Amino acid sequence: MYFEQFYLTCLAHASYMIGSEGEAAVVDPQRDVDIYLQAAEEQGLKIRHIFETHLHADFVSGHKELAARTGAKIYIGVRANAEFPHVPLTDGFEVKMGAVRIGALETPGHTPESVCLVITDETESAQPCAVLTGDTLFIGDVGRPDLSRTHTPRELAGLLYDSLHQKLLALPDAVTVYPAHGAGSLCGRAMRAERSSTIGTERLTNYALQIASREEFIAQLTTNLPARPDYFLEDAEINRSGAATLTELPPLRKLSPAEVQALLRQNANVLDVRPGEAFAEGHVPGSISIALSGQFASWAGGILGIHSKPVLIGETDAQIEEARLRLARVGIEDLRGYLAGGVAAWQKAGLPVARTAQISVQELNDKLRSGSWRAADVLDVRREGEWQAGHIAEVQCRALDTFPQGLPVVDKVRPVAVHCKSGYRSMIACSLLERAGHRNVINTVGGFDAWHAAELPEVAEQLAKA
């Protein structure tokens, strides 16, 4: 059996290809599908089957384009009500490719139509060797239960408990678990960094599988959920009908500095994809910083939304093209264009350039200790779980995920030092506050990682409550 995991760091998304005796199946394909075609050619395989474990909410899937380019059948859970030609998956449905069997398990919970795929390689054993769990079971976590228009979170959480305990935990402990997402994805909240596990390991270490009762599971799974980006439900609907091919996207318009300035006056979203350090040194006033490194696409989708029609600013044409592809992966396809020549062209046109001040963790600590700055002058934009594990005493915490629902209230006169884990999210937050009119926003270099590494004072949630 040929088996390969394709991991897309930008979305913390894992897709898979399974092959045997000249045939291949792709599971949960990303938007740009050339990687699967290339891998199949290298392995001497023909892609005949495309499986979706559910209607993905955090990215636009490439199942429709991949099917058009290969002639493969698409398989998806019967409850998806998919609008493209497909084979509906129900319990016991099976596809056989040579010595490999792919069997479906209906596992509603993350979404009503969720399925898991049990893989058996008969050249090795009659017992299953792996299960592709989609967003039902992650490494160290389970799928969030609030992504449905038809079911309440409590209803889905109850279904998820049943799916986990009656179906997935009925598999042998040695079965390898391959989920559709890893650490950083908003489809869960406590995923570990590993890319695979086993049923036995998850049975012993996954917090959600340790919860004693169904009612307690429902209570825990529906409490303190991370903010759900608005684009999630929209992406699920795109995937229900199937997305257009990437080749259908029109060329990007080159925009002059004057044109970008005019768009800014109309409150257009101007997205600067350069590294945070470059943004801090000089940027177009009113632009939003989301660096192309890290989970760029997820943050762009969550902060901007898929109908935002942004103008791009980058350092090179290659950077602009990469940004465009990554945006398309989450459904942001309608772009106004890009600033030709980047910030250098903006400066050459004699237009004003804004800068974002930065501070080291040592300087920040000195200001807090001296009393010249208060804890209220510091804004932590990490998520709640990160904050609970350790934070600067008495600082305000407002997760960046929540900014689209309303910016945090900060003093417009006094300085505000913004920090996250490493500096990526804090620069996004700084740019959003600056765009809203705050003129004394300061980015904390290195974030809480640098604070912790410097062994500066911190507290955990339980100490903060004492």
- Please provide the DSSP assignment of 196-211 as one string: -EEHHHHHHH-GGGS-
Please tell me the predicted confidence (pLDDT) of residue 128: 97
d(CA 273, CA 291): 4
E strand segments, 245-315: 254-255, 270-272, 288-289, 311-313
Cα distances from 93 to residues 15, 105, 448, in angstroms, run: 21, 8, 48
Task: Give the pLDDT mean for 58-68.
Answer: 97
Instruction: Assign 312 to helix, strand or coil.
Output: strand
Sorted by where each starts, the structural domains of the chain and their CATH numbers stand as 2-241 (3.60.15.10), 249-348 (3.40.250.10), 357-465 (3.40.250.10)
What's the rounded Cα separation, in Å, for the pair 424 and 393?
22
CA distances from 225 to 59, 160, 385 (A): 19, 15, 10
For residue 267, pLDDT beyond 90: yes
Give the residues across from 111 on adjacent strands: none
Ranges assigned E (strand) in 385-430:
396-397, 416-419
**Number of Cβ within a 10 Å radius of residue 51:** 28
Q: Give the per-residue pLDDT at 462.
A: 52
Strands (E), 213-328: 254-255, 270-272, 288-289, 311-313
CA-based nearest residue to 197, from 240, 255, 139, 115: 139
Express each pLDDT in 86-108 by its tens digit.
Answer: 999 999 999 999 999 999 999 99
Predicted pLDDT at 282:
98
* pTM confidence score: 0.92
Q: What does the pLDDT average to over 38-61?
A: 97
Return all residues near 131 (Cβ < 8 A) that are at least 6 apart: 105, 116, 117, 118, 119, 168, 171, 175, 176, 177, 178, 199
| pLDDT category of residue 466 using cuts at 50, 70 and 90 | very low
> What's the pLDDT tens digit per position in 447-463?
999 999 999 999 987 54
Indicate if the pLDDT at residue 29 is higher than 60.
yes
> Distances in Å between the alpha carbon of 231 and those of 295, 311, 332, 355, 447?
15, 19, 10, 30, 28
Burial environment of residue 166 by CB neighbours within 10 A (0 to 12, 13 to 18, 19 or more)? exposed
Q: What is the pLDDT of residues 167-197, one digit of tens each?
A: 999 999 999 999 999 988 888 877 998 999 9
State residue 171's pLDDT score.
Answer: 98
Of residues 51, 44, 37, the one with CA closest to residue 22: 44
- What 3-state DSSP class applies to 134? strand
**Across all residues in the chain, what is the average pLDDT?**
95
Percent of the chain with pLDDT over 90: 88
Mean pLDDT within 341-360: 98
Q: Is 123 exposed, middle or buried (0-12, 13-18, 19+ CB in 10 A)?
A: exposed
Q: CB-hemisphere CA count at 13 Å for 180?
A: 29
- The answer to whether the Cα torsion of 148, 150, 152, 158 is positive or negative is negative
Res 464: pLDDT: 37
> DSSP secondary structure string, 369-381?
HHTSS-GGGEEE-
Q: What pLDDT is attached to residue 13? A: 96
